[in-house]
A and B are shown apart, each in its own frame.
Chain A
Amino acid sequence: DAGVIQSPRHEVTEMGQEVTLRCKPISGHNSLFWYRQTMMRGLELLIYFNNNVPIDDSGMPEDRFSAKMPNASFSTLKIQPSEPRDSAVYFCASSSSGGSWETQYFGPGTRLLVL
């Protein structure tokens, strides 16, 4: 299994531009998590999907952030418009059914820099 796949690995963009991050979870996993990691705040849960349905988006910072999961093998996290404070590493993780006792499998992350 290829594990969780994220693209792009690095993204440099200018303030105001739209950014789209992509994730392919492990086949057969029905739970997907988007996290943001910064030095100041550590690893924060942005949104959680179960069976392609957003269950908890309370961690999404503001309306500039949106996430979709159109099918079991693909999810996107979009930032529009982007701001310098959005600079961070964004991780996608998947697990079998989402329980807190389960292993979460993380992708390699997308390192985003907004100038």
Chain B
Amino acid sequence: SQQGEEDPQALSIQEGENATMNCSYKTSINNLQWYRQNSGRGLVHLILIRSNEREKHSGRLRVTLDTSKKSSSLLITASRAADTASYFCATDEDSGGSNYKLTFGKGTLLTVNP
């Protein structure tokens, strides 16, 4: 079963607005990553946040992590049409003790209208 679950499944906004996507997971994690997938392409890594971090920034991206609520959010500020893509969170919660396995959620489809 999919562990990291994104919310909402789809989000449509106007260019310039902020977009917030959420990810929930079920058990403890060591780290959480966010990836972007443009239509017909492979996934591209955006940012990683470790379990001992609460917030991280990268350009227009802001990621938060609340381990008590087992959730993370990805905020994209001042969105652009080029941000249109699916966004996935990936956790190591289902690794079964391994140190390599990432479990991906089903993603949020973000559409930024010009």
Chain B stretch 61-114: residues in CB contact (< 8 A) with chain A? 88, 92, 95, 98-107
**Cβ B101 vs Cβ A109 within 8 A:** no
Q: Which residues of A does B touch, CB under 8 Å?
A: 4, 31, 41-43, 45, 48, 50, 55-56, 91, 93, 98-101, 103-109
Contact residues in A for B100 (Cβ distance below 8 Å): 31, 48, 50, 55-56, 98-100
How distant is the Cα of A101 from the Cα of B50 in the complex, in angstroms?
A: 8
How distant is the Cα of A111 from the Cα of B81 in the complex, in angstroms?
A: 25
**Cβ A108 vs Cβ B41 within 8 A:** yes
> Would you call B12 an interface residue if the criterion is a C-beta within 8 Å of the partner chain's C-beta atoms?
no
**Cβ B102 vs Cβ A104 within 8 A:** yes
Closest-CB distance, A85 to chain B (whole angstroms) = 18
Contact residues in A for B102 (Cβ distance below 8 Å): 45, 100, 104
Closest to A101 in B: B31
Q: How many residues of B contact A (CB 8 A)?
A: 25
Closest to A100 in B: B92
> Would you call B45 an interface residue if the criterion is a C-beta within 8 Å of the partner chain's C-beta atoms?
yes
> Would you call B2 an interface residue if the criterion is a C-beta within 8 Å of the partner chain's C-beta atoms?
yes
Chain B stretch 29-70: residues in CB contact (< 8 A) with chain A? 30-31, 33, 40-45, 48, 50
How distant is the Cα of A106 from the Cα of B42 in the complex, in angstroms?
A: 5
Closest to B102 in A: A100
How distant is the Cα of A55 from the Cα of B106 in the complex, in angstroms?
A: 25
How distant is the Cα of A107 from the Cα of B37 in the complex, in angstroms?
A: 11
Closest to B107 in A: A42
Contact residues in B for A50 (Cβ distance below 8 Å): 100
| A91 touching B42 in the complex, CB below 8 Å, given contacts A100-B92, A103-B48 | yes
Contact residues in A for B101 (Cβ distance below 8 Å): 45, 48, 56, 100
**Cβ B104 vs Cβ A43 within 8 A:** yes
**Cβ B43 vs Cβ A42 within 8 A:** no
Closest-CB distance, A34 to chain B (whole angstroms) = 13
